Amino acid sequence: GAKGFFHQGFWEDKTSFRIWLFQGAFCATGGTIVSGAMAERTKLKGFGIYTLVLTSFIYPVVVYWSWSGHGFLNYRDDSGKSVSIIGPAYSDFAGSGVVHMVGGIGAICGSMIVGPRLGRFATDDDSEFTGHSVPLCVLGTFFLWFGWYGFNPGSTGAMHDAETANLASLVAVNTTIAPCLSGLLVFFLRAKVVSPKALDVSGFCNGILAGLVAQSAGC
């Protein structure tokens, strides 16, 4: 946590450029998760400050704890075994906790600070909360799903030989199967078990995203 500022030492170890770019994308993802919870209720200036604090101070600390190899959640003991302060080492392959949970907690805190949209919804009619465009919702879901094929297989860190390429392909398969199953599960539950007991495409999309987030840790 005390080196690498302004690309310090990157020219001596050029793999640092690859790590910087990849982790920068993860960091930006953590910041964008916040936007959905605070949309239409936060001025651009306030959201910019909030995102700056999250990505500059909160997220890097969590990453250091988890992925640096020196943090209290994952480090090597005297025998060279990966451990944590409570015993087994924390394992998060592609960021379920490090990226998505940090962004989610930031979103919860942001929405609590901003507060409810008082007076925005005048009735108790559920249709007031219906999204204005289901096709755009589906399109956005597929955009995110496509991006996950960069994040998860890319978290192998290399694909220069058969072993790492096979690992990346396994991760890609899991990144396909998990959201399919979770999306279908939510779709079935919304159709047969819970309200509205109808074919809910938006719920299907949410199920896909939930599956992608959940499987990122162990993919």
Residue-wise pLDDT tens digits, 127-176: 666 667 889 999 999 999 999 999 999 999 888 899 999 999 999 999 99
Residue 118 has pLDDT above 80, yes or no: no
Residue 35 has pLDDT above 80, yes or no: yes
**Integer CA distances (angstroms), 75 to 69, 79, 82, 89, in order:** 5, 11, 5, 7
Mean pLDDT of 15-23: 88
User: pLDDT (tens digit, 9 = 90+) per residue, 80-96?
Assistant: 899 999 999 999 999 99
The whole-angstrom distance between residue 114's C-alpha and the CA centroid of its chain comes to 22
Please, what is the average pLDDT of the chain? Answer: 89
Residue 181 banded pLDDT, cuts 50, 70, 90: very high
**Integer CA distances (angstroms), 74 to 6, 65, 85, in order:** 25, 7, 8
Mean pLDDT of 31-51: 86
Q: Which of 95, 94, 25, 27 lies closest to 58 in space, CA to CA? A: 27
Give all strands of the β-sheet with 82-84 in edge-to-edge order. Answer: 70-71, 74-76, 82-84, 87-88
Residue 4 has pLDDT above 90, yes or no: no
Residue 214 banded pLDDT, cuts 50, 70, 90: very high
Residue 61 has pLDDT above 80, yes or no: yes
